[in-house]
Chain A
Amino acid sequence: MQRDLVSQAKRGYEEAFEALARLVGDRCMAIASWILRDADLAEDAVQATLVRAWRELRTLRDVDRFEAWLHRILTNECYAEARRRTRWSANIRVLQVAEPADSGGILSINDRDQLERAFRRLTIEQRSVLVFRHVLDLPLPEVATRLGIPLGTAKSRLHHATEALRASLEADNRTATPQERLA
């Protein structure tokens, strides 16, 4: 169905594109929310992405690669949004998610908080690799393709980003003295 909608939208059929946007919009919002960690910025980025996708849709060569092509645009819009907004900082409020998934209870509130802080300290490019790898569950070569970066760069960013998240958990695992906690 998505293939047909893309084909029709390429011919200027606005309703087909609106239906397509309904199909992919929430997923794009999830990706942008993870990358930007701000719902308002994410909504702006997704909206800009969909308008740009409509404008450039006739340049899409392979209709079966629509989602990959769209994600490339979305990532670029997220980067642009992050650069534009002066309120972007590592200290912005924690994103309110609808329902934190309980993954069998293995992730404590403290774990989530540590990971959230560490995630926010990553560069936006590192976050993007993590999101495409873990949220979309894509193999690394596909991650590299969708982000428009060499495979080696994707591997490097994933490695450093994962190490940073692991380090935040490792640091929390250490028993801290009362003096260290108050520091």
Chain B
Amino acid sequence: MTARRDPDQLISAFFEASQPELPDRAFDALRSEIHATRQRIVVGPLRAPDSFLAVRAVLAAAAALVVAIAFLNLRPVLGPVGPFGPSPSPSPTQTVAPSPSTGPSPTPAPSGPTVFVSPLYGYTITVPAGWLAAEAYLRWDGTRQPGPDADTDKFVDPGGLIVHGFAGPFPGVLAAFVTDRIKANARDHSDTCPVAKPEINERLQIAGRDWVLLGWNCGALINQAVTVRSGVAYAFTLRDLSIQVATEPADRALLLSILDSVELPN
């Protein structure tokens, strides 16, 4: 006679069998896909109270920023001190000590404006209070047009804006780097940026340094400011997913203010 076995126990044991893990190729493909995929924006009459509050907070913050900028009368040619730049007297800023480059580990948002020193690229930048900062852990390859990826330092606004910075050797002058970035953007982001030529291509002087500001409408606002110093090219890109234009006054003012704080290594 065959002993009766507990079928439920057997069924439970059946489900204990291990299953395949997700292979690395899937994560590699995912990285490319999310870079080319825009997040759906939730606006208007919202179902979720927390999302509604978040949108209200973003709008309130943006309005306050516009008022602050108007009050401070920012102009394209900025002096040495901007709303987020270093001030002559001791100020409640904090220096972020980047964590060891073991991977993407953003620095928690401190309470005041934050001075960030890029471990890979050597520049110093001051970002507004409440922003997250994460350093690049791969060096830029010198050719591609990166987004907020592993080879860029990233600065994230709680409201959704992202500024990312990168740098690398470049033998030419600023005009040549501008041409280089326009071509790189057309090559690497043709899927999201339908127009290769930027709508904005403006030479500026910020804190005594020559910059060029490029602006694309890639289904999101992309503003990239570039400069060259001592054989090294630097680029800082602001991405605003909430609007589909190449330029917007508040975003422009914010980027210029951040650039005003940038100090490049000798």
Contact = CB atoms under 8 A, between A and B. Distances in A.
B35 interface: yes
Contacts of B72: none
Given A61-B50, A62-B50, A98 B18 contact: yes
Given A59-B42, A107-B10, A25 B27 contact: yes
Contact of A13 (B4, B29, B162): B162
A100 B16 CA distance: 8
A42 B23 CA distance: 11
Interface residues of B, number: 56
Given A15-B154, A29-B21, A173-B4, A55 B39 contact: yes
B197 interface: no
B48 to A, nearest CB: 4
Nearest to B240: A12
A122 interface: no
Given A12-B160, A13-B162, A16-B104, A21 B17 contact: no
Most chain A CB atoms below 10 A, which of B7, B41, B154 = B7
A174 B249 CA distance: 79
Contacts of B104: 15-16, 18-19
A173 B8 CA distance: 14
A112 interface: yes
Contact of A22 (B27, B41, B134, B162): B27
Interface string B198-222: 0000000000000000000000000
A134 B16 CA distance: 8
B262 interface: no
Given A11-B156, A16-B106, A97 B2 contact: no
Interface in B66-117: 103-104, 106
A62 B9 CA distance: 36
Given A62-B50, A106-B13, A169-B5, A26 B106 contact: no
Interface in A128-182: 130-131, 134-135, 162, 165-166, 169-170, 173, 175
B108 to A, nearest CB: 9
A111 B10 contact: yes
A14 B148 contact: yes
Interface of A is mostly: helix
Contacts of B147: 14
Given A106-B10, A107-B14, A166-B7, A54 B34 contact: yes
Count class of interface residues, chain A: 35 or more
Contacts of B158: 11
A57 B13 contact: no
A42 B21 CA distance: 10
Contacts of B11: 115, 134, 162, 165-166, 169
B16 A103 contact: yes
B12 interface: yes
Contacts of B31: 14, 18
Interface string B155-185: 0111110100000000000000000000000
30 contacts: A11-B156, A12-B148, A12-B156, A12-B239, A15-B134, A17-B34, A21-B30, A22-B27, A42-B20, A46-B22, A54-B33, A54-B37, A54-B39, A57-B39, A58-B40, A58-B42, A59-B42, A62-B50, A95-B19, A97-B20, A101-B17, A101-B18, A103-B13, A103-B16, A112-B14, A115-B10, A134-B12, A166-B8, A169-B7, A175-B2
Interface of B: 2, 4-5, 7-23, 26-27, 29-31, 33-35, 37-42, 47-48, 50-51, 103-104, 106, 132, 134, 147-150, 154, 156-160, 162, 239, 241
Interface of A: 8, 10-19, 21-22, 25-26, 28-30, 33-34, 39, 42-43, 46-47, 50-51, 54-59, 61-62, 95, 97-101, 103-104, 106-107, 111-112, 115-116, 119, 130-131, 134-135, 162, 165-166, 169-170, 173, 175
